[in-house]
Chains A and B, each alone.
Chain A
C-alpha cells in the first residue's frame, strides 16, 4: 500500500494564513490571533501578489487566478524547503489537480455582462478566455512550465475531495509520485447576491467568530485557495499523512452516513473511537447543522470536535481550508482554542474532516500524524 504524505502547504484565506508564509513549520500558536469580521461575507486577505506573479500579468488576472497561483507557489516553496536541495527539488509535481465549485466567476460575470449589455457586439476575449474552469490549474502549469497531468474538478462541495481522490488513485497505481492538489473558489458581488436570494447567507451581518451561536437561517459566505504538496515519500518536514478520502450522494437516512463512516474507517483498520478529533463543516445554518449534530451525537458522542467555517466562511472548497488546519494541527500537536467545541484531546493521531454540502454531497477526509 502506497502512503501519501502532505509535504507542503499554501493557503490564501480570510485569515492571515498567507502573510506568515502559508505553511512552513507551524508554531503552536499558529491560530492564536484569528481575524474576526462583522459581516456575512468573508473576503480573502490578499498577499502581495507581486511576490508570486510577474507584474505585467497581475493586471489582467481575476482574483481567483491570483489567489490560486499565490497559494500554489507558497505550497511549492514550502515543499522545497523540506527537500534537500542536493536531491530532487520539487519544481515539477507529477500532477497539478485542482477543485473549484464555481470556477472563475469574476471573468464569467464580466463576459456575460458585456455580452448582454452590448447585445453580442464589440466583445473582447480576455474574460472569456479566463472564464474556463481550469484556468487556475492551467496558469499554474504555465508559470511552473509543468507539462505533467493537469486536471480540474468542478463538483460543488466535493470538488476538492475529487482532486484528492484522483491524486491518491494515481499514486496507488504508480502513475505519479507527487501532486500539487488544491481547492479554489472566489466570491463575487453577483454570486453573493444570487446566493442571498437563494437563501444561502444570513440576512444580517454577524460577528464571524460567533458563527455557530447565531440562529438566523443561512451561513456566511467565504472564499479561499489552499494547496497541498502530496508525495508518497515521508520527509522530516512532512505535516501529516493523508490516509483516505471518500464522497457520497444524498443519504436517504442519517443511518447511511454512519454506515459509510464505518466502512471508510474499516478500510484503515479504524473505528470511530480511534479518531482523536472531528473537524466538522458546521456552518451556523440551523437547517444544515442539525445533520452534523445528529451524526456527531450518534457516532462520536465522546470525541473532541472542532469547527472551521467561522474562520473562512462557507464555500464549495472550504474543506481545503480545513485540511490546511488539520495538517498544521497534526504537526504542531495543537488544537487552537478558536476552533474547539469541547475539550481537545491530549494527543492528536487521527483527524477526521466531515463536511456536507446542503445534504447533497458528503465527504470524509482522514489524516494522521506522521
Chain B
C-alpha cells in the first residue's frame, strides 16, 4: 500500500469539554469529568459516578441548531456536534466536492429514547410514543449526522463494542488507501443510558469512587459519554488544496482475543496481536513509539491483560503510557475516536497527559503509567512526541490499536 492518510480536522465533545479547545484545557489542568450523576435518571444516582457531557439533550439540540421539537437522540446530537467541529476545523466548505464518506461508530444508538418508549410499551403494546423508538437503531445516528453534514455518498456504521470508533478510522483509512474515497469523516458517538449503566453494573465492574486505571487498588471502570470525529484526507486532496496536516494515520490493526465474550485473556493475546499489526503497518521500530494512550479502563481484568500485552510486545522498553479514562470516563463506542483526538493533542502540543487517580503500581506488572507530576519527566526522556499509539478493546474479544504520527515530510522510518 502506497497511499498515506492524513488527518486534517478533529472534533470532540466529552465530559471534559464541549470542543477540542475546552478538552485540551481540562487535560492541561488535570480536571476530571467524572462526578456524581446529574442528568441521567437512575436509581444509581449518588452511588455510581459517571462522566457525563455537561449539557442536557435540550441544550444539545440548541447547540447543534436543531429545533426543540426534534426527536433526535442524545447519541445523534453528540455526534453531530463533534463531526461538525471536525469538518469546520478541516476548512471544508463544499463537502461533496470530493468523494466523501461518513463512518460512525456507536454501541447504544438511540437507546436513551428507546428506554422511555419501552417502559410504556411494556404496559401496553399499543402505548409508547413512536417518535421515541423510531431512531433506535445504530444506523439512525449516522444517517442523521450525514444529513447534517450534507454527505450523500458512502455512509456506514460500525459496532464492535468499545473498539468501535478506532475501527471506523481503520475502515476510513482503508477506503482512502484503495482510492475508493478521497475523504472520510470517521469517529464515533455514544450517550450514557440506563441500559449501559445497569449492564456494566451487573458485571460488577463499575468503580464507585471513579476509575483508577493501572492502579493496584483499581475496582472497575467509570462510564462516560461523548463523540469524536477525525477528518481523513488523501495525499491528493492535501497537496491540491495545500491543506494543513494535523497528523497522519501511520498504522492500525484489529485482532480477536477469541478467549471469552467479555473477559480478556490473561496474556492479552488479542491486544498483543492488534498492537503488533499496527506497528508492522507503520514500519516503525518499537522504540519509536513515544507515548501510548492505553485502553486502561480500570477493571481488574483489562489492565492486567493489557499490561501483560504491553510487556510482551515492548519488553523492558515500554514507552511512557497513560489511560485518559480518568478524565473522560469510558465512552464505549466513542472511546477510540475520543482517545485518537487526545493522542493527536499530545503530538500537536508535545505533551503527555497523566493517568489520573494512580497511586500504587500493580503487583503483576513491572510497568506503571505516567501519573500527575511525572509528565514533564516522561516527556524529557522521549525528547519529542512523534508517534503515539492508542489502544481500544471491547466485548467479543475485539482489540484494536492505531498509531498516529506527527507530519514530517522526511518521516523517520526504520526498514520494515
Contact = CB atoms under 8 A, between A and B. Distances in A.
Interface in A182-210: 190, 193-194, 197-198
Interface stretch (B74-82, B113-121, B211-219): B113-121
A105 B354 CA distance: 40
A175 B174 CA distance: 10
A59 interface: no
Interface in B203-260: 203, 254-260
Interface stretch (B18-26, B320-328, B391-399): B391-399
A115 B254 CA distance: 33
Contact of B261 (A129, A147, A173, A247): A129
B122 A115 contact: no
A119 B153 contact: no
The residue in A103, A142, A360 that gathers the most chain B C-beta atoms within 10 A of its C-beta is A142
B194 A138 contact: no
Contact of A147 (B119, B138, B198, B273): B273
Nearest to A136: B396
Interface in B159-196: 159-161, 167, 171, 174-175, 177-178, 180, 194-195
B157 A155 contact: yes
Given A138-B395, A194-B121, A156 B198 contact: no
A153 B115 CA distance: 23
A173 B257 contact: no
Given A159-B139, A360-B143, A147 B256 contact: yes
A370 to B, nearest CB: 24
B49 interface: no
B306 to A, nearest CB: 16
Contacts of B115: 112, 116
B160 A111 contact: no
A213 B398 CA distance: 45
A116 B122 contact: yes
Interface in A147-190: 147-156, 158-159, 162, 165-166, 169-170, 172-175, 190
How many interface residues does chain B have, given as a range?
35 or more
A123 B202 contact: yes
A249 B202 contact: no
B199 to A, nearest CB: 4
Contacts of A288: none
A145 interface: yes
A261 B195 CA distance: 42
A249 B151 contact: yes
Given A132-B107, A133-B107, A152 B158 contact: yes
B194 A115 contact: yes
B202 A152 contact: no
B138 A155 contact: yes
Contacts of A103: 138, 159
A138 B258 CA distance: 7
B116 to A, nearest CB: 10
A71 interface: no
Nearest to A137: B396
Given A138-B396, A154-B139, A155-B157, A145 B258 contact: yes
A85 interface: no
A138 B174 contact: no
Interface in A93-142: 96, 101-103, 111-113, 115-117, 119-121, 123-125, 128-135, 137-139, 141-142
Interface stretch (B60-68, B86-94, B129-137): B129-137
Contacts of A155: 138-139, 142, 155-157
Interface in B251-302: 254-262, 269-270, 273
Given A111-B195, A153-B157, A159-B139, A142 B114 contact: no
A248 interface: yes
A183 B123 CA distance: 33
Contacts of B152: 248-250
Contacts of B262: 129
B180 A134 contact: no
A113 B153 CA distance: 38
B154 A151 contact: no
Contacts of A249: 143, 146, 151-153, 155
B373 interface: no
Contacts of A36: none
A146 interface: yes
A154 B157 CA distance: 5
B44 interface: yes
A152 B154 CA distance: 17
B26 to A, nearest CB: 30
B151 A112 contact: no
B138 A149 contact: no
Contact of A166 (B114, B171, B202): B171
B29 interface: no
A175 B273 CA distance: 15
A134 B160 contact: yes
A49 B384 CA distance: 56
Given A153-B158, A248-B152, A147 B257 contact: yes
B383 interface: no
Contacts of B259: 142
A138 B397 contact: yes
Contacts of A194: 121, 130, 133
Nearest to A248: B153
Nearest to B133: A194
7 contacts: A112-B114, A150-B256, A150-B396, A153-B156, A154-B137, A159-B139, A162-B157
The 8 closest A-B pairs by CB, nearest first: A138-B396, A128-B199, A133-B159, A125-B202, A155-B139, A156-B139, A154-B138, A162-B156
Interface of B: 1, 42-44, 106-107, 109, 114-115, 118-119, 121-122, 125-126, 130, 133-134, 137-140, 142-143, 146, 151-161, 167, 171, 174-175, 177-178, 180, 194-195, 198-203, 254-262, 269-270, 273, 394-398
